[in-house]
Amino acid sequence: MRILVVNPNTTRTMTRTIEAAARAAAAQGTAIEAATSAMGPVSIEGYYDEAFAVPGLLAEIRRGEAGGAEAAVIACFDDTGLDAARSMATIPVIGICEAALGLASFVASRFTVVTTSERSRVPVEELVRRYGFAARAKVRVAGVPVLALEDPGSGAVARLKGEIVRALDEDHAEAIVLGCAGMADLAAALQREFGVPVIDGVGAAVKQAEALVSLGLTTGKRGAYAPPSAKPYAGMLAEFAPPAA
């Protein structure tokens, strides 16, 4: 089984963190192909970054599917471009936010998502509502830029831990969801430290992608995720024009 894991920002060091988490979660016999978007922002923090990350993400998924990937994972907690990717691709596409929330619901009645910056709070809260977990999940902000997670001297991990303490004390959270793909390498250590399930969306998405492939399931193509209609696109986006069926 081959699973494509796409980092929709352009920071390759973050892709390496994501790839390591994906490989650690993958079953024996599952090949992980990690890809970094070739265009777009260095980090995705809010709606503006997200919009400009989508074309590069779609290009990587299109390339991966053509190369034989059997499923794709979008490794950004905003589930960047997820609906567009599901419309374009014939293989299953998993977003790490949706995957992480679903997995958390199996192990806790109440859980808290700890994400990076205040700019990301509302997009994540909207996803929590969209996926049906508003009554069970809260969203907290550690107050760190995404790329600070890669700097050991930034204090980002200490801030993340502080917010986890508050989530356990004030939200009565029974599990913690890490709200950024750049936190993927921290889950196991945080779980040991705090004694509650700590869920990384990258690993959660890989396991769910494996399940879909094993069951022979892919995205339904009636209605919302029907293939886009063939039409010309202009200017810089001409290469993304949907082809005739």
Residue 132 lies inside a defined structural domain of this protein: yes
What CATH code is carried by the domain that includes residue 161?
3.40.50.12500
The verdict on 65 and 153 lying in the same domain is: no
The verdict on 11 and 69 lying in the same domain is: yes
- Residue carrying structure tokens 């796409």: 6
The verdict on 119 and 180 lying in the same domain is: yes
List CB contacts of 214: < 8 A, sequence separation 6 or more: 1
Mean pLDDT of 112-140: 96
Q: Which two tokens stand for residue 203?
A: 């690993």
The verdict on 120 and 160 lying in the same domain is: yes
The verdict on 115 and 149 lying in the same domain is: yes
Q: Which two tokens stand for residue 117?
A: 């910056």
Residue 191 lies inside a defined structural domain of this protein: yes
pLDDT, one tens digit per residue, over 34-56 is: 999 999 999 999 999 999 999 99
The verdict on 178 and 119 lying in the same domain is: yes
Residue 44 lies inside a defined structural domain of this protein: yes
Per DSSP (E only), the strands in the chain are 2-7, 31-36, 71-74, 93-95, 111-115, 137-141, 175-178, 198-200
| CA trace torsion 138, 53, 68, 20 (10° rounding) | -60
Residue 245 lies inside a defined structural domain of this protein: no
Q: Which domain holds residue 228?
A: 2-96+203-240
What one-character DSSP code corresponds to residue 230? P
What are the CA-CA distances from residue 232 to residues 58, 63, 195, 236, 242 (Å)? Answer: 17, 20, 54, 12, 8
Query: Is 245 a residue whose pLDDT tops 80?
Result: no
Query: Is 153 a residue whose pLDDT tops 90?
Result: no
- In this structure, of 16-25, 129-138, 186-195, 227-236, the range with the lowest mean pLDDT score is 227-236
Q: Residue 151 has what pLDDT?
A: 81
The verdict on 81 and 18 lying in the same domain is: yes
What are the CA-CA distances from residue 72 to residues 4, 96, 108, 168, 212 (Å)? Answer: 5, 11, 27, 33, 11
Residue 193 lies inside a defined structural domain of this protein: yes
Residue 48 lies inside a defined structural domain of this protein: yes
The verdict on 128 and 217 lying in the same domain is: no
The verdict on 10 and 36 lying in the same domain is: yes
- Total domains in the fold of the chain: 2
Backbone phi and psi for residue 46, each to the nearest 5 degrees, phi listed first: 105, 175
From the list 239, 234, 213, 243, the residue with the least C-alpha distance to 88 is 243
pLDDT, one tens digit per residue, over 142-152 is: 988 888 888 88
The verdict on 193 and 104 lying in the same domain is: yes
Cα atoms in the Cβ-side hemisphere of radius 13 Å centred on 82: 20
The verdict on 120 and 179 lying in the same domain is: yes
The verdict on 87 and 207 lying in the same domain is: yes
Q: Are 31 and 1 in contact (CB under 8 A)?
A: yes
Q: Residue 148 has what pLDDT?
A: 85
List CB contacts of 153: < 8 A, sequence separation 6 or more: none
